[in-house]
Amino acid sequence: MAIKIDTESIVRVIHPSSAKFNLDELNDHVEGFIEPLKIGPVWVMYDESAKKKGAAKNLIATFFFGVAIYGTVLIVPPQQLPEDWDIMDDSDRNYSSSDVDNGFLLSLQTALIRQRAFGLPGYSENISDFTSRLKTVS
């Protein structure tokens, strides 16, 4: 599972065609060639040339992660990365892919509610909320 956020602020859960995503699937979802960026316990993936192509800024991803991101964004748990990528940290093994997805969605929801109701918060609080929501896999 992964989370897909488009430039119209639509958030969807997506699934790989097999056990894990492959590179072609990731590229297809962002409509270009992915640029992976590790933020906290997730991989944020977006089209590396989305801004040059004139894609709109992804307001939700930009708000949540505190960095300007353009075009469609995928939030991918490390456990769902392509099989041939060997980039998981030891700490990534503490969480299941479901924990990461659910933790992200709950943190995003909380951050958007706070922002809408109180004009709060910034990037650092979003990430700390997200990390604190993850359960350690036993």
* pLDDT score, position 47: 95
pLDDT of 127 > 60? The answer is no
Rg (CA), the chain: 14
* CA dist., res. 102 & res. 125, Å (int): 17
- The answer for residues whose C-beta is within 8 angstroms of residue 46's C-beta and 6 or more apart is 30, 34, 35, 37, 58, 61, 69, 70, 71, 72, 73, 74
Structure tokens at 60: 């939700």
**Residue bearing the bigger pLDDT, 129 or 65:** 65
Alpha helices in 1-138 (DSSP H): 23-30, 59-65, 97-118, 123-133
Q: How would residue 138 be classed by pLDDT, with cut points 50, 70 and 90?
A: very low
* pLDDT score, position 133: 54
Q: What is the DSSP string of 15-44?
A: --SSSS--HHHHHHHHTS-EEEEEETTEEE
How remote is the C-alpha of 38 from its chain's centroid?
9
pLDDT, one tens digit per residue, over 5-20 is 999 989 999 999 998 9
Cα angle value 94/104/49 (rounded, 5°): 105
pLDDT, one tens digit per residue, over 63-116 is 888 889 999 999 998 888 888 887 777 777 777 888 888 888 888 888 877 777
pLDDT, one tens digit per residue, over 25-64 is 999 999 999 999 888 788 899 999 999 999 999 988 888 8
